[in-house]
Chain A
Amino acid sequence: MENSTEESHLRSENSVTYESPYPIYGMSFSPSHPHRLALGSFIEEYNNRVDILSFHPDTLSVTPHPSLSFDHPYPPTKLMFHPRKPSPSSSSDLLATSGDYLRLWEIRDNSVDAVSLFNNSKTSEFCAPLTSFDWNDIDPNRIATSSIDTTCTIWDIERTLVETQLIAHDKEVYDIAWGEARVFASVSADGSVRIFDLRDKEHSTIIYESPHPDTPLLRLAWNKQDLRYMATILMDSNKVVILDIRSPTTPVAELERHRGSVNAIAWAPHSSTHICSAGDDTQALIWELPTLASPTGIDPVCMYSAGCEINQLQWSAAQPDWIAIAFANKMQLLKV
């Protein structure tokens, strides 16, 4: 009891908890507004919400902005702020959401406007449902989306048009990530990680296939501090697979200290050798990748235990000392 009290006391000084009126899935830190955070609700209906919060590290508190909340059709499968400030003179922020369409929202001081709606279907007024997307931080005019129709679509944000569309995989594409201005990678239900180069659209490179046939790969994260490495997770697996794009098919490491399936992964924005993972075992683990492979396996550097399954994880690039996790209807900010 005494230890629990003391631990709680310590924890209250290095973490912040926000309780939402509804379950949370989508999350995003704003790079241009360091204290801004977007949360997407997870309600299995048409009507869903996106909330904008402000985080205050000095007072360890989180403030919601009701005037900046807006309705969103269906649960957003991904939220992401513009990787840079849209324009130096403007104080507004751009937020992209994916779901039935790719949508662009402008977050102003006291209001939110729906800016654009992207449709990639030429024969229908409806877009193929999107599972995820990534905003190119080198060329912010590009967003890449992944879809259940086996395609990846590259969008021109200003002209609201399809720049290109590729049949990326044999089955549904579940996640996508940019590596460079014209290079992206995707994971699919067919169990493969593929890298595409927009300068050579006829070819793609398979750099990993899951060991069991047809085991889907669900999430993908590309190490922005060291582009040679990326990480992926498998369905119903406690592994975080670390890949080196220079040696396809053989992982450089498999991190398996979770006691349940992994739901989310994120590389450290300021370190090339650290990655965070969170899963059904209610734990968020921070790992440090060694320079040499260890035969006995790699242990995490440190861990955090939440109350229930952690579904989402974001590592703030503007404030690398903070990690955000989402579980049930709670969002927690953890000091690293």
Chain B
Amino acid sequence: MATPPPNNSLQTMLRAAVQSVQWTYSLFWQLCPHKGILTWGDGYYNGAIKTRKTVQAMEVSTEEASLQRSEQLRELYESLSGGETNAKTRRPCASLSPEDLTETEWFYLLCVSFSFHPGLGLPGTAYARRQHLWLSGANEVDSKTFSRAILAKTVVCIPVLEGVVELGTTDKMEEDLNFIQHIKSFFIDQQHPALTAKPALSEQYSTSKPTSSSSSYPLVTANNTIPIQNIVDRGEAIILNNNTKEAELAVPNSSFIPSELMELDATLEEFRVGSSGDGSNHLDSFPTEKSMALCSAGLELLQLQLPPAPAHPPTENLAQGGTDTHYSQTVSSILQKNSRRWPESPSLNLLTDSFQSAFNKWNSGADDYQHHFHVSVASVTSQWLLKYILFSVPYLHTNWLKGKGTSPYETSHVMAERHRREKLNERFLILRSMVPSVTRMDKASILGDTIEYIKQLRDKIESLEARKRLTGKRRMRQVEVSIIESEALLEVECVHREGLLLDLMTKLRELGVEVMMVQSWVKDDGVFVAEMRAMVRENGNGIKASVIEVKNALNQIIPRHEPYTLASSDHF
């Protein structure tokens, strides 16, 4: 068999093929001899570019841009799926980030992570059967099951060399045998001369076309009439592939047809394994489901959309599970790396480089410890030197000056402020000594107590003034009598009435008090005032009247209230 061509040559062929038909991408699934599976060999991206990243300011041609893009997409995949070592490697500023991709580019990127066993998936099936597979309107088929349509509406897989060439486009294209031949022509030159029988096969194929118009329909269409036609078609293909056994196959012709029918049934069952929808979903299950799940940005969505794994032959089951596990791990790895990488601060790297700086990176592990660390920094040695410079060094000068016997340093404004404070303090002390009840020594308390004391003094003043007014009223009725041996001095002050003085003198005569001199007047407010001087004589019993007797007698005569006045009038 032919040796697989070198990568550069392969990519050149892929580029020439995809550009000649103006499709979106081309891939080569290469058979790995050791594992026996198809893996991503190389690819060329020929679609829309979202964010162009290039160091050169020059404009590049479209072809160069696409080639550059294909390489950048491959580098991005490697960096995203690489290990910790790759993450630390500093990537050039022109490197892509996941946010720089269009959806088409994203789909292309994800293909790198896939691999197919022969007979599984679109590439695997094409390889196993050595026939091309043309999937048209894939997005319409899948949209019945998934919320998002895939972007490659048409996918073609063609077995060549030791693998399968896959092309995809965002346009819906009907199957075209000329297209297949055209693509094959880019790879057929490399084939071994022994395979020149292929052209004969092609001729036979095209010859059979007029007699079998049904072959132009999509291969995967579930139609009752189609299976019969396909059986005949595949039978012919098999016969042609085994020319040396042609006579032998012709003999058991009747048994051949039932065998093909059983094979078709098995294929249909295999198709339905992948999903509950059409059998075609199985062929397209890997790139379509996975990429759409990723586009939905949810691993859970991916798990939900995958149907429960049905009973399988052991090998197929393992292959199926392996593929799913591989994909989940890839997506998880990408998401984890992205979440760690994107928030990274560029200025941090700009400021310090651990390998060149004397400073070490701050340990985030110590961060947890720091959160529980309660700093108690007040101590004898805390900030010792700084405090000495600020608190002690300036006063070294003063000691030195005193040591020299010079007059100590003095600043006028400091002294002025000091004097003002001393004066205030002194006056606060005086105030404190003047206030009888002092609760505390601080200035606010002194002021408070002073305020309270002033209030008390004001209350006392008001009380005394009120008392004075009451005392004045009581003096409106007053009799003063003093007797020294035989001389008496009398003072009377009361409300005036007519004939009062005569009544007083008459009463005194009855008591043996003989009036010698009288002064009396009536004030403007109607108050009668009398001052009398008298001689006290012994009565018949030889006893003089006492002060109390005289006072009580006079009090009975001076008016108390109006009724008394009326009584006096009656007397008059």
Contacts and interface: CB of A to CB of B under 8 A. Distances in A.
B351 A286 contact: yes
Contacts of B382: 236, 260-261, 280
B444 interface: no
Interface string A314-336: 00000000000000000000111
A25 interface: yes
Interface stretch (A178-186, A199-207, A245-253, A303-311): A303-311
A74 B410 contact: no
A301 B409 contact: no
Interface residues of B, number: 50
A237 interface: yes
A263 B385 CA distance: 8
Given A121-B411, A218-B390, A335-B358, A129 B397 contact: yes
Interface string A126-157: 10111100000000000000011111000000
A280 B381 contact: yes
Interface string A5-42: 00000110011000000010100000000000000001
Interface in A245-293: 256-264, 271, 273-274, 280, 284-286, 288
Given A280-B377, A299-B367, A99 B393 contact: yes
Nearest to A10: B355
A174 interface: yes
B480 to A, nearest CB: 71
A167 interface: yes
Nearest to A75: B393
Nearest to B379: A236
B471 interface: no
A220 B319 CA distance: 69
A17 to B, nearest CB: 11
Contacts of B352: 286, 301-302, 336
Contacts of B179: none
Contact of A100 (B359, B389, B397): B397
State the main secondary structure of chain A at its contact with B: loop
B357 A335 contact: yes
Given A75-B393, A261-B382, A280-B381, A123 B348 contact: no
A238 interface: yes
A68 B379 CA distance: 39
Given A123-B410, A150-B414, A286-B351, A236 B377 contact: yes
Contacts of B400: 46, 74
Contacts of B359: 284, 286, 302-304, 334, 336
Given A257-B370, A261-B382, A129 B356 contact: no
A44 interface: yes
B33 to A, nearest CB: 45
Given A46-B400, A303-B360, A237 B377 contact: yes
B412 interface: yes
Given A14-B356, A303-B359, A256 B375 contact: yes
Nearest to B401: A126
A180 to B, nearest CB: 26
A68 B129 CA distance: 92
Contacts of B377: 236-238, 260-261, 280
B347 interface: yes
B375 A300 contact: no
A130 B378 contact: no
Given A44-B396, A124-B410, A126-B401, A304 B360 contact: yes
Nearest to B383: A261
Nearest to B399: A46
Contacts of A123: 410-412
B396 A301 contact: no
B38 to A, nearest CB: 48
Given A150-B414, A288-B351, A236 B378 contact: yes
Interface in B407-441: 407, 409-414
Contacts of B411: 121, 123, 128, 149
A334 B414 CA distance: 44
B354 to A, nearest CB: 8
A14 B390 CA distance: 33
A262 B375 CA distance: 12
Interface in B82-99: none
A150 B415 CA distance: 12
Nearest to B403: A46
Contacts of B342: none
Contacts of B572: none
Chain A CB within 10 Å — which of B345, B367, B375 has the most?
Answer: B375
A15 B356 CA distance: 10
Contact of B358 (A11, A23, A258, A260): A11
Contacts of B412: 123
Given A99-B393, A336-B357, A309 B387 contact: no
B389 A75 contact: yes
B506 to A, nearest CB: 89
Given A124-B409, A336-B351, A259 B375 contact: yes
B413 A167 contact: yes
Contacts of B398: 129
A174 B358 contact: no
Contacts of B384: 309
A235 interface: yes
Interface string B339-372: 0000001011001101111111110100100110
A223 interface: no
Contacts of B314: none
A78 B401 CA distance: 22
A151 B413 CA distance: 10
Nearest to B345: A288
Q: Which 5 A-B pairs have the closest CB atoms?
A: A129-B394, A302-B359, A334-B358, A236-B378, A14-B358
Given A44-B396, A261-B382, A263-B385, 5 more contacts: A75-B393, A219-B386, A259-B375, A263-B383, A273-B347
7 contacts: A14-B357, A25-B389, A131-B390, A237-B377, A261-B377, A302-B352, A336-B359
